[in-house]
Structure 1
């Protein structure tokens, strides 16, 4: 038995396929979703979604949004998403390092909030590409 997974950003459908298992980062922690999951509507945090298709794991960096599970259909609406396989590791590492430096140097409330958001996004992208190439998910 499988789940139908659809990930939609404002300008495109990012993912539309079947999956056996999905792990999401929600605002209250990570959740695992298997076929016949109870209906659920939840807010998503910036983080990595892990998807198992047969015996292979894929990752995707999600930049916040909402997920609705009903009748083995998981619909995810996100602000932005990027498949781990589409992310360049060196570029993601460089962006992460710059975001971390900006966060450490942030002064003032607004600058700290903006730097923290950029750091979370960079961290999600880096984790997605690293997990995608890791043997733990392949």
Structure 2
């Protein structure tokens, strides 16, 4: 059995992570998905949430917003709409985005795109959650 597996986290803009890891837990559309090396091939949709990976006994968090995961041949590929490592999240900026989204939702105006404001709020809360220890 392989001891590690390759994890690639990619967004339309950049490669966020591309290294060997021990374990991956991703926010699947129907619940959390865990992957060890030599996992059975799988493709699944992802939802906004915190992806956790274990590398050399250390846990690293990545805030992702939607996308897909493919697992095959001890390789996990995450194609995410957005992804940001927890250690790179600007918490003050995320808090401000959360505040703005909450204000938009509280207005209850016809000019507000509710679905967009709710998605922005969910992303901001997710980023804050990922950044917490």
TM-score, normalized by length of structure 1?
0.86
10-19 vs 109-118, greater mean Cα deviation = 109-118
The count of residues paired between Structure 1 and Structure 2 equals: 131
Runs of 4+ in 1 over 3 A off after TM superposition: 104-110
* Equivalence for 1:122: 124
CA distance in 2, matches of 1:33, 1:103: 37
State whether structure 2 residue 86 is matched by structure 1 residue 84.
yes
Correspondence 1:22-33 to 2 at 5 A: 22-33=24-35
Match of 2:54 in 1: 52
Secondary structure, aligned partner of 1:38: coil
Cα distance in 2, alignment partners of residues 76 and 30 from structure 1: 14
More helix, by proportion: 1
* Distance in 2 separating the partners of 1:56 and 1:34: 15
Distance 1:101 1:30, change over 3 A: farther
The unaligned stretches of length 5 or more in structure 2 are: none
Alignment of 1:96 onto 2:73: no
| Aligned-residue RMSD, C-alpha | 1.7
Deviates more, 1:118-127 or 1:97-106: 97-106
